[in-house]
Amino acid sequence: MDTPIPGTDHARIGIIGGSGTYQLAGATVRATLDVRTPYGPPSGPVTLADVGGRTVAFLPRHASDHSLPPQKINYRANLWALKSLGVQAVLSSSAVGGLREGFGPETFVVTDQLIDRTWGRADTFYDGTVTDGVPPAGVQHLPASEPFCPTLRSHLEAALAARGLPYAPQGTVVVINGPRFSTKAESQWYVSGGADIISMTQYPEPVLAAELNMGFANLAFITDSDTGHDGSEPVTAEAVFARLKEAQRGILAVLEDTIAAISEDYAPRPLMDRTAVARIMALPAARESVSAR
C-alpha cells in the first residue's frame, strides 16, 4: 500500500461510496493510499482510480466490509483525507427512506437541504483546539444556508435525466443518528418539519467538506417508504440492501457521467477563510494508521 506524498494533487474529484457501493466497478485502479490524518484513521484506504479518463479518489463510507455503523464513522478523517489528496469536488451516494408522496422506492434524489437530528458526532474542524496562526483557526462559523454545491447538483440532475432514471431534482433530508430505524411517531414528526427523505449518514459530510472549501453533492437512492408513511411496511436492513444491489449499476453510471461533466477548472465556493483551512490541513497526522485496521 502506498503512502501519499504531502502537497501532491493526486485527484481533484472524490467519491464517498454509501451502503452497497464499496468499489468503483469497471474503473482502472492506479493506487491504494494509506492516508493518515490528525483525526485518526479514515474508513479505509483511499483508492485512486481512472474513471472515464479522470482520476478520482474513492473511499467507502462504511469501510469495504460495511463494518462501520453510521454513528461510528470518522467523518472528519474521511474529508480531511480527501482534501489532503487535492480533492476539490466530492460526490457521495446514500441509501435513504422516503417520507412523503413523490419520494417513493427506487427513486433518486438530488438532495438540496438537510435537517440534522444526530448527536455526538464530531461535526466541525473548528472546535477551538487550533489556536495558533493569524487569524487563529480555532473558531469559525460556516454559512450553511445552501449545504450542497449547486454546480455539482446540476451535473447529477443532468446525468439522471439523460439516463431516463426516476428522480426528484431536490429534496430535504433529515439525518438521524442510527443505527436503528425511526419509530412511526418520529417519522411523522420529521415530515411535519419539512423532511422528504431520511438518512443516517448525510450529516456531517457536506458541512465538513464546506469547512475545507470543497464542493459537495449527494446522490440519494430511496430504498423504502419509511415507517411513518401511510401503508408502508416496517423497514428492514435486508430489504434496503436488496434494493441497493439492484440499483448499483444505475448509481455507478450516474456518478461516472457526473465525473465526466465536472469541469477541469471547477472551483468550489470559498465558504471558509483560506488561512483557517490551511491551518487545519497543516496539522500533523495522528499515530493511528488505516493499515492497522
Instruction: List the catalytic residues.
Output: 224, 226
The answer on whether 225 is annotated among ligand-binding residues is yes
The answer on whether 94 is annotated among ligand-binding residues is yes
The answer on whether 226 is annotated among ligand-binding residues is yes
The answer on whether 112 is annotated among ligand-binding residues is no
The answer on whether 95 is annotated among ligand-binding residues is yes
The cell for 80 is: 480531511
The cell for 85 is: 489528496
The answer on whether 155 is annotated among ligand-binding residues is no
Three-state SS letters, the chain: CECCCCCCCCCCEEEEECCCCCCCCCCEEEEEECCCCCCCCCCCCEEEEEECCEEEEEEECCCCCCCCCHHHCCHHHHHHHHHHCCCCEEEEEEEEEECCCCCCCCCEEECCEEEEECCCCCCCCCECCCCCCCCCCCECCCCCCCCCCHHHHHHHHHHHHHCCCCEECCCEEEEECCCCCCCHHHHHHHHHCCCCEEECCCCCHHHHHHHCCCEEEEEEEEEEECCCCCCCCCCCHHHHHHHHHHHHHHHHHHHHHHHHHCCCCCCCCCCCCHHHHHHHHCCCCCCCCHHHC
Q: Name residues whose C-beta falls within 8 Å of residue 258's C-beta, 6 or more positions apart in sequence.
A: 91, 152, 155, 156, 159, 219
The answer on whether 199 is annotated among ligand-binding residues is no
- The 10 Å Cβ neighbour count of residue 117 is 17
Which residues are paired to 127 by β-bridges? 139
Binding-site residues, please? Answer: 19, 61-62, 94-95, 200-201, 224-226
List the binding residues for phosphate.
19, 61-62, 94-95, 201
Residues at the binding site for substrate are 200, 224-226
